[in-house]
Structure 1
Amino acid sequence: MNLLQRHIFASVLFTCAVAAGVFAFVLIVGNAFRDLLGYLLAGQLTIETFLKLSVLLIPYVGVHALPVGMLTGVLLVLGRMSAQHEVTAMRAAGLGLGYLSRPILLIASAGVVLSLGLNFYFMPQARTLYRNAVNDAVRQNPLRMIVEKTFIRDFPGFVIYAGGKQGGVLEDVWLWRLDKEKRVTEFLRAKTGRIDYDDESNTMKVVLVDTFSDRRNPKSPEVFANTDTQVSMGEASVDIPMENLFGQRVVSRKPSLMTLDQLLAMKKELAVAKAPLSERMRVDVALNEKAAGSLMIFAFTLLAIPLGIKVSRKETMANLGVALLLALGYYFLTFMVGWLDRSPALRPDLWVWLPPVLFISLGVWMFRRVERI
């Protein structure tokens, strides 16, 4: 690699790294605000736990930030070089588009390898650590999840309210048990209560003292005539499963959050058990989806090289707009292909390759057109 190619390599690498970093930061902030900020502001998570969880989001958002960052970086660098007539000077010196593209495609190939590592290993492991870190915070201090004088709706199937907290004791505790349609099937009100955590069953136990209960017929909870009212001076315990909130402290069985080794083992297990086609297809889709998503880095790069030269604009916003439109087009295609997940007979595991194959074909066609100009 000569001096000119090293210059192109360094410029593209730096710009792509900055662009991917910016996109990753935006995605991390968005996910942290959506999933964690409410818990932090309510005092349910400490700042240390919040920062730890935010760091664990990096592999997850990196999977999405790398392709868009590569696309944006190449468009910006080649757009600037084309606007300043550097590309014209190179062609006048007898250097073709292939010469210009060699260091860029080298970076893209390294990006594909990095993305494969993120998709098949680092991202699933980080997501497991993410769920377990929140679970650990709840296990160490389950009382933190209850904020006084606030209706807590974070637990699926339950609503909890506490009038106050004194040390480890809750005062004036209200608890509603809901059915799948979010109708109240039971109402409990207690003078005091406490919160315990059962690590073995991943369950938060709400122990109530001096309890008034109002139970309704589960078949028609909206009919108040069918109620069973009781008053207990002893203790009443309500178990709230935590897996629906943060996930169990086990390896995820969701294919998209499994490593390559786990996916291959699960595929073999389902084949031996002769599982239904829909279950086996979910694993095949996850394997192909992760690989196809990584290949999009190369597809975006191959498309961005001729497009960056052809756009020939120095304005950053114009190139960013082109990158945004291409990224939206890719994710729209991915979303459409995702509709086939419920139809295993249509082979959705093969259709996930449509976006990268389409973008690579378009990139090769544009590459040849620009080379002939």
Structure 2
Amino acid sequence: MPRLLPQSVLTELLPPLLAGTLLFAGILSFGYFFVSSQWLQGVPPGLIAQWIGYQLPDTLVKVLPMAAVLMTVVAFGRMNTERELVAMQAGGVSLGRAAWPVAAVGALLAALSLWLSLWVAPRANVETRSLYWDVLTGAGLGNLAGKTMDLRGGLSLYLSSYDTQSSELRGVRVEKWNPQQPRQGQVIFAESGTFSGNQLQLRDYQVFSVDYAQAARLSALPEGDPQAFREAVQATFPAVMIPESPQAVLTLDTGLSRKETFAQYADAVGADALGWDELQAQIRDPGRTPEQRRAAQLTLHRKLALPLSNLVLALAALPFALRFGRSLGVSLGIALAVALGYYFLFLRRWRWRRL
């Protein structure tokens, strides 16, 4: 009875796994396209396919646990219905031994999902947002007008408006703070500028170095002493730079690139753009507060837990397969119920821990 050996169980697992992955990934990808289709009119199909392709790694991380459940329920439900499991046990093969292929496939899916979640999906998500806003819609940084954005390294950016024709920022304000002296910093005003890569170039700008600790002493100055007042103002604004030519360019290096800025700020829900290296850097960064390091640890734990759910859910689905997996429709429903129930508990617990 070669079909009843545990090794042959693998041939039962792969077809529903592949079918479930394609089905769930297709549904989720269509959902992305449907939600954004009103802003994608006139866009070449090749660019839309590229945009959906960039979302595929993150999509797979989300759908592989559902496909793993479907794999187990369909394969073992069919074998149980057709009495193949009974024949297998009669031949001396226990149910635990027959389930080893499920554990092996679940472990491989967990490893694949872990690689996608920590190394591939974060970079793909950044490319997704950049392609969408800069190419597909052409809105560029216009969606960020009126927002103050943290560009890391103590640098924040505000723009009043964005010219989509010239790709210029208008009405720019940049704040750069000294991490060792939190009351000292620079405020830069510029009429226009460009943001490309990790460089912010400003034109027609004015730079003011400000010491707010000195500014607090202005109210305590004695009246009728103009010399003391001038000295206090000089201490409050130790440096003011106004170039002679409005065409002069000031270049600032940003910690957050233009693409990463899209990923973090362009949408109501920021893209998952943090991978293993970024999270480890945040956890070990002594300049971050304990709350920020704890948030980075929680994010890392979440990105570890979801991939491992492939193994957990594949094995947890075995009792459901033996009890309910009689048809494809029932198996599909069970797969959705088990996976969505896990997602609900997972997200609820993660949000509770963040609070």
| Alignment TM class, shorter chain as reference | 0.5 to 0.7
SS of the residue 2:334 aligns to: helix
Task: Say whether the 8 Å CA contact 2:295–2:354 is kept in structure 1.
Answer: no
Q: TM-score, with normalisation over the residues of structure 1?
A: 0.60
Q: Select 1:295's aligned residue among 301, 304, 308.
A: 308
Q: Does 1:335 align with 2:350?
A: no
Cα deviations by residue, 1:69-116 (Å, 9 ceiling, x for unpaired): 010111011101100010111111221112211112111110110010
Q: Residue 283 of structure 2 aligns with which residue?
A: 267
Q: What pairs up with 1:135-146 in 2 under 5 angstroms?
A: 135-137=133-135, 142=138
Checking the alignment, whether the CA contact within 8 Å between 1:255 and 1:282 is kept in structure 2 is no
Instruction: Indicate how the Cα distance of structure 1 residues 40 and 106 shifts in structure 2: closer, same or farther if over 3 A, else same.
Output: same
Superposed CA deviations along residues 142-180 of structure 1, whole A, max 9, x for unmatched, are: 5xx59xxxxxxx83668xxxxxxxxxxxxxxxxxxxxxx
1:155 to 1:250, Cα distance in 2 relative to 1, 3 A: closer
Which residue is 1:40 aligned to?
Answer: 40
Counterpart check, 1:200 vs 2:194: yes
1:18 paired with 2:34, answer no
* Corresponding position of 2:296: 283
**How many angstroms does 1:17 deviate by?**
1.6
Question: Which of 152, 155, 180 pairs up with 2:143?
Answer: 155
Query: Any gaps of 5 or more consecutive residues in structure 1?
Result: 147-153, 159-192, 204-246, 344-373
Contact 1:255 1:263 in 2 (8 A): no
Mark the CA change 1:108 to 1:99 in structure 2 (over 3 Å): closer, same or farther.
same
Contact 2:57 2:120 in 1 (8 A): yes
Asked whether the equivalents of residues 76 and 322 of structure 2 are also in contact (C-alpha less than 8 Å), the reply is yes
| TM-align CA RMSD | 3.0
Aligned-residue offset at 1:135: 4.3
TM-score by length of 2: 0.63
C-alpha separation in 1, matches of 2:336 and 2:78: 18
Conserved? CA contact 2:302–2:350, under 8 Å: no
Q: 1:124 to 1:194 in 2, by over 3 A?
A: closer
Q: Post-superposition shift, 1:38?
A: 1.4
Q: Which residue of 1 aligns with 2:63?
A: 65
**Pairwise mapping of residues 356-367 of structure 1 onto structure 2 (< 5 A)?**
none
Report the Cα distance in structure 2 between the residues aligned to 1:61 and 1:48, rounded to whole angstroms. 19
Instruction: Judge conservation of contact 2:260–2:273 (CA < 8 Å) in 1.
Output: no
1:95 aligns with 2:96: no
Map 1:71-110; keep pairs closer than 5 Å. 71-110=69-108
> Do the aligned partners of 1:12 and 1:104 also contact (CA within 8 Å) in 2?
yes
Question: Displacement, 1:255?
Answer: 9.1
CA distance in 1, matches of 2:271, 2:123: 13
Q: Which residue pairs with 2:126 in the alignment?
A: 128
Aligned to 1:53: 51
Name the residue aligned to 2:32. Answer: 31
1-structure distance, mates of 2:108, 2:31: 27
Residue 285 (structure 2) pairs with residue 258 (structure 1): no
Q: Secondary structure at the match of 1:200?
A: strand
Equivalent position SS for 2:75: helix
Q: Within 2, Cα distance between the matches of 1:75 and 1:89?
A: 19
Shift of 1:194: 8.1
Q: CA deviation at 1:340?
A: 2.1
**2:38 maps to amino acid:** G
CA distance in 1, matches of 2:75, 2:58: 27
8 Å CA contact retained: 2:126, 2:271: no
Mapped to 1, the partners of 2:38 and 2:144 lie a distance apart of 16
Is the CA contact (8 Å cut-off) linking 1:21 and 1:65 kept in structure 2? no
Tell me how far 1:5 sits from its aligned partner. Answer: 2.6
Q: What are structure 2's unaligned runs of at least 5 residues?
A: 147-162, 169-192, 201-256, 265-269
Q: Which residue of 1 aligns with 2:330?
A: 318
Moved more, 277-286 or 74-83: 277-286
Residues 31-88 of structure 1: per-residue CA shift (max 9 Å, x gap): 12213x11222x3x33322111011111011011100001011101110110001011
Secondary structure of the equivalent of 2:167?
strand
SS in 1 for 2:194: coil
Q: What is the aligned length?
A: 249
Summarize deviations over 1:246-272 as a string: whole Å, max 9, x none. x93247677942111121122212xx1
